[in-house]
Amino acid sequence: MSLPVDTSSHTPNSLQVLRPFVSLFRRQWLMMLVGLLLTFTTLLTGIGLLSLSGWFLSASAVAGLAVITSQAFNYFTPAGGVRFFSIVRTVSRYGERLATHEATFKLLTQLRIWAWNKLLPLSAANLQGLRRGDLLNRLVADIDTLDHLYLRLLTPMAASLMMIGVLLVFLGWFDHHLALSLCGLLLAAWLILPLVFYYLGKAPGQALMQAQRQYRVELLDIIQGQAELSLFGANKRYLDKLEQAQHSLFSQQTTMANITGLSQALLIVVNGSAVVFMLYLAGQGVGDATPPGPLMALMVFATMASLEMMMPIAGAFQHLSSTVLAARRVTEITEQTPSVVFNPHSHLQANHGALQISGVHFGYQSHSQVLQGLDLTINAGEKVAILGPTGCGKSSLLGLITRDWVAQQGTIMLDGQPISDYSDANLRAAMTVVSQRIYLFSGTLRDNLALALPYLQGEAKKTHDQRFIEVLQKVGLQTLLQGDKPLDSWIGEGGRQLSGGEQRRIGVARALLRDAPLLLLDEPTEGLDKRTEREILNVLLDFAQHRTLLMISHRLTALEQMDSVYLFQQGQLTLRAN
């Protein structure tokens, strides 16, 4: 289930959501300005090229009617002007592509960093009910959609408005009545057509965004859950849902393509009407020239060339609704107030890892309690195991200790201080968590191990190579240390190059790299065979010899090495064995 999206807002209210993103653009104002100027130069040289060419051809034809005029006519200057406009147009078009796309990529990078900085303080409670595929879609695809703001909306609109002003001045030099007529028509089109295109593309644009989101969510569910879907024979059902999402996406893309064609056709009709209108007006004379002669061609060709500056408006406002929807979906996440608040000014540090949990009540929903008055004391250096079936609340307890969630009642103390008094960084530094899911990233073996050591970048990672090799040997991953540069080996997205056991051992190796007083184990050997399970637990218990350890599990391995063992039932600890 994803967060609801309101698609019924009126245009002014809808555009309000774009303001925070537009304000972020100021940091790239120089590159954006360069892109705008090059876009304007491209339009200026394009219209200048066609206008000068029209006048030159007409003037040459008129001059050729008589020998005297043909010999007196200067063919070289206009020809040089045509060549000049051609070269400058080509160069400016190339530069415009470089500048605008460079600005766009920098803006997207900046937006992603901004979104991640907003996302990081959020806890599991803030993201509850949001599927991973939808979250990924919002942080990648929706932010990518926001490039329409600069690349397809702000730049072409500003450049075309500037061009209308230049046309007014240039054509007014020859005939101010014709200049006002043409520029007034272009300005009316600049103001009215975007609204028409916006309302034409509003509903289809939002539907296309929703179809893209649904398709990505279904696709990610199938990819990530392939093992479970195959095990329970649910592949066909999920593939059918994916195919339905695909058909819906294709249908919405077809609708949007039809609207694009309609919008471009409407612009061509408007431009053609303007050409006929200017042909009629210029035919009656241009300035003091009656008959108008070659200046008539200049006016008409300038009108024809204006189509180039108006055409991007169709795409800009056609996609505006999808851009607004993408901005709203991102804002729904980034404007949330974190449900778990840390004390950023606290200097408390935990050195022993002693835990005291008193009267904790917790539930994901108000009417359903997972933990009911739970009490637990773990002294510094003690090893405690909590057993219980899946879904009894063991992982919820660890989520409260790590402050992914906040209990409705009760207190949790770390080294005699409430965990709410610790800063985020100091609380994370006080504990090491080995969960049942190991997250590996598309990178080298070194990169994935360095995640356990904060603030390591570039060459700083290589200074720990010997330490990385030692922990890999300790967890039994000698097979990964073959070759000249084993730490540079690429393990692939999600560790696809490795077996499940090897992925689990890398997670344990990360734990061994951290010097935290509290070690939390959440089903650390889930899915492993008995022999591998015992090996990994022995390594972890040896590492935790002088540390506090809390392990939750539903298996009985290595319990004899624990100081205390509790049984978890119905949200309470019901049995203790020493």
Q: By the 8 A CB rule, do 543 and 511 touch?
A: yes
Q: In whole angstroms, what is the distance from residue 518 CA to residue 174 CA?
A: 83
User: In Å, how far are 272, 338, 396, 506, 563 from 430, measured between CA atoms?
Assistant: 72, 22, 19, 21, 21
What's the burial of 459, exposed, middle or buried (CB within 10 Å: 0-12/13-18/19+)?
A: exposed
| 3-class SS of residue 575 | strand
Residue keyed to tokens 């599991």: 124
**In one letter, which amino acid is 9?**
S
User: In Å, how far are 120, 348, 438, 541 from 486, measured between CA atoms?
Assistant: 32, 39, 21, 27
Beta-carbon neighbour count of residue 114 at 10 Å? 16
Q: Which DSSP helix (H) or strand (E) runs through 382?
A: none
- The closest of 524, 472, 531 to 498, measured between CA atoms, is 472
- The closest of 167, 170, 193 to 273, measured between CA atoms, is 193
User: In Å, how far are 91, 121, 522 from 437, measured between CA atoms?
Assistant: 53, 22, 9
Question: What is the residue extent of each domain of the chain?
Answer: 17-334, 355-577
Give, for all 578 residues of the chain, the pLDDT tens digit. Answer: 334 344 444 444 556 777 777 777 788 888 889 999 999 999 999 998 998 888 888 888 877 776 676 677 778 888 898 999 999 999 999 999 999 888 888 888 888 888 888 888 888 777 777 776 677 777 777 787 777 778 888 888 899 999 999 999 988 888 888 889 999 999 998 888 888 888 888 888 888 888 888 888 888 888 878 877 888 888 889 899 999 999 999 999 999 889 888 888 888 999 899 999 888 888 887 877 666 678 888 888 889 988 888 888 777 777 777 788 888 888 888 888 888 888 888 888 999 999 999 999 888 876 678 888 888 999 999 999 888 877 777 888 888 999 988 888 999 999 999 999 999 889 988 999 988 788 888 888 888 888 888 765 555 566 778 888 888 888 888 888 887 788 888 887 777 778 878 888 888 899 898 889 999 998 887 767 788 888 888 888 888 888 999 998 877 777 888 888 888 877 778 777 66
Q: In whole angstroms, what is the distance from residue 75 CA to residue 281 CA?
A: 28
Token pair listed for 458: 């570039």
Q: Evaluate the CA torsion angle 320, 326, 331, 332 in order and state its sign.
A: positive
User: In Å, how far are 153, 240, 291, 423 from 345, measured between CA atoms?
Assistant: 43, 52, 82, 7
- In this prediction, residue 367 carries a pLDDT of 63
Residue keyed to tokens 């985020």: 424
Pick the CATH number of 17-334 from 3.40.50.720, 1.20.1560.10, 3.50.50.60, 1.10.3720.10: 1.20.1560.10
- In this prediction, residue 537 carries a pLDDT of 86
Which are the contacts of 567, defined by CB distance < 8 A and separation ≥ 6? 386, 387, 388, 573, 574, 575, 576
Q: In whole angstroms, what is the distance from residue 314 CA to residue 260 CA?
A: 7
Q: By the 8 A CB rule, do 541 and 533 touch?
A: no
CATH class label, 355-577: alpha beta
- In this prediction, residue 7 carries a pLDDT of 41
What's the burial of 34, exposed, middle or buried (CB within 10 Å: 0-12/13-18/19+)?
A: middle
Beta-carbon neighbour count of residue 536 at 10 Å? 24
- In this prediction, residue 6 carries a pLDDT of 42
DSSP annotation string for 418-455: EGGGS-HHHHHHTEEEE-SS----SSBHHHHHHTTSTT
- The closest of 4, 381, 333, 299 to 143, measured between CA atoms, is 333
Fill in the DSSP letter of residue 149: I
| 3-class SS of residue 45 | helix
The side-by-side arrangement of strands in the sheet containing 548-553 is: 431-434, 518-522, 548-553, 383-387, 564-569, 572-577
Token pair listed for 540: 């972890």
Tell me if 17-334 shares its fold with 355-577: no
* Distance of alpha carbon 518 from the chain centroid: 35
Report field, pTM of the whole predicted structure over 0.85 = no
